[in-house]
Amino acid sequence: MFKAFMTNSSGILFSRILGFIRDLLTASTIGANIYSDIFFVAFKLPNLFRRIFAEGAFSQAFLPAFIKTKEKGRFASLILIRFLSFILFLTLLVMLLAPFITKLIAFGFDEKTITLATPLVRINFWYLPLIYIVTFLSALLHFKGHFATTAYSTALLNIAMIVALLFSNPNEPQNGVYYLSIGVIVGGILQLMTHLIAIKRKRVWRVLKVGLFKFKEKKRNYKEFYKNFWHSVLGNSTAQLASFIDTWLASFLVSGSISYLYYSNRIFQLPLALFAIALSISLFPKIAKQVNKKEVESANKTLKDGFWVLAFLLLPSTVGGYMLAPEIVKILFERGAFLKEDSLQTAKVLQMYLIGLAPFGLSRLFSLWLYSMGLQAKAAKISAISLILNIILSILLISPYGASGLALASSISGFLLFILTIKAYGTKKFLAILHLKQIAILAIVLILEIFLLTIFKEILNAYL
């Protein structure tokens, strides 16, 4: 577990460091204005579908089904061809309806802004078919116990975008967002190339090669996958729809609000990805195999170990991030076109996001149990309830608190998501995981952290 976790975590850390360099360059080159807003809107659309269809629902439904099936080559080849065909059709549809779709994403934009954003939407959406193939190949590599390629290849997207920014003209932000969009596509191509090399070296290509020559479908082998996939789509789409709705609502706020949400969410996503997502990716194949072999106790022990690892990582990250949010944002972004007021607003949004870090991360861990047990429908229902609460709170909080209110609504819904996920997993089983000794140690760690950070914060502010 820990080898795979460290591989994923180090790869994500490397990618996120490059991501922060990318965001630093984006903030200083483009700033927080209408041009940054239209790029983030354009980049959000392929990411919305990527997280729903590719990285989220697809992986959660594909891997358990792939483990169970005896016709792995046939199953994998058919799924690849069908899903890629659908995504290419969706991409062409977006090319034709780009102005209308752009208006849907950011309804508060005026016609001039929609005109500026539409070409960027067309360019960025081609990232989706590229990253779908990457996700499919990474699932096969994860089955083989190989995580390094997927973990480190994500850095290629950031490298491509950094190079694009370096070539752009800082005095022409409109030119910069076009360079960034081209960088997105180049990054997707580089990610695909590294995965093609990996499946050849790991001899995973043989599975697909055999499957292509045995293409006749046996419906009984695929019925469960498609059922679980669509339930996973519903479950995974809620978080992405919440982000989509936040962007839509933020488009009615002052210029730069979408950018405040983006930059703060980027910082928030670092500990979430570094710890919760990295651990979940490494544990999912193991738990799925244990459940398939009816080794329920072993699967529960795996979850227990994962819970305490995450608790000791996420809770201190929450406290530290909340206390140092203004300083973190100032150090990372406050330069060039990114002004002091932009830093203050972004820090407030970040603090609201961080309130939900632990519940979001821990619920992701326990959802692995539901996916491995084939309970995608239950997971989808839980996510839908959380989304409804998020939407209601976003509408209520946006007026008094602006972009910060949208982030707070997300965090509160994260607590509901965690509570319902634990209930589905089993409240008694969860309480059996909790031990007074670990809780006491964690409490001492947090108290000590608050004391030390209070001193550090005063010293740091003296030099900023």
Average pLDDT over residues 410-435: 93
pLDDT top residue among 272 and 28: 272
Residue 410: CA count within 13 A, CB half-sphere: 30
Q: What does the pLDDT look like over 224-243, one tens digit per residue?
A: 777 777 777 776 666 667 77
% of the chain at pLDDT higher than 90? 29
* Pair 196, 137: CB distance under 8 Å: yes
CA distances from 282 to 59, 189, 365, 387, 417 (A): 13, 25, 11, 27, 22
Q: Which residues in 161-174 are b (16+ Cβ under 10 Å) and which e?
A: bbebbeebeeeebe
* Pair 350, 268: CB distance under 8 Å: yes
pLDDT top residue among 55 and 49: 49
- DSSP codes of every residue in 414-436: HHHHHHHHHHHH-HHHHHHH--H
pTM (global) more than 0.75: no
Indicate the average pLDDT of the chain. 83
Q: Which amino acid is at 44?
A: K
Q: Which helix (H) or strand (E) holds 275?
A: none
Collapsed DSSP state (helix, strand, coil) of residue 191: helix
Residue 100 — φ and ψ, nearest 5°? -65, -45
For residue 213, pLDDT over 70 is answered with no
CA-CA-CA-CA torsion for 215, 220, 226, 231, nearest 10 degrees?
-170
For residue 218, pLDDT over 60 is answered with no
pLDDT of residue 107: 66
Rg over alpha carbons for the chain, rounded to the nearest Å, is 22
pLDDT of residue 308: 94
User: Which has the minimum average pLDDT: 180-184, 261-265, 294-298, 302-306?
Assistant: 294-298
User: What whole-number distance in Å separates Cα of residue 21 and Cα of residue 270?
Assistant: 13
Chain position carrying tokens 């140092």: 324
Q: What does the pLDDT look like over 96-124, one tens digit per residue?
A: 988 888 777 666 677 777 888 888 889 98
pLDDT of residue 318: 96
Centroid of chain to Cα 389: 20
pLDDT top residue among 236 and 285: 285
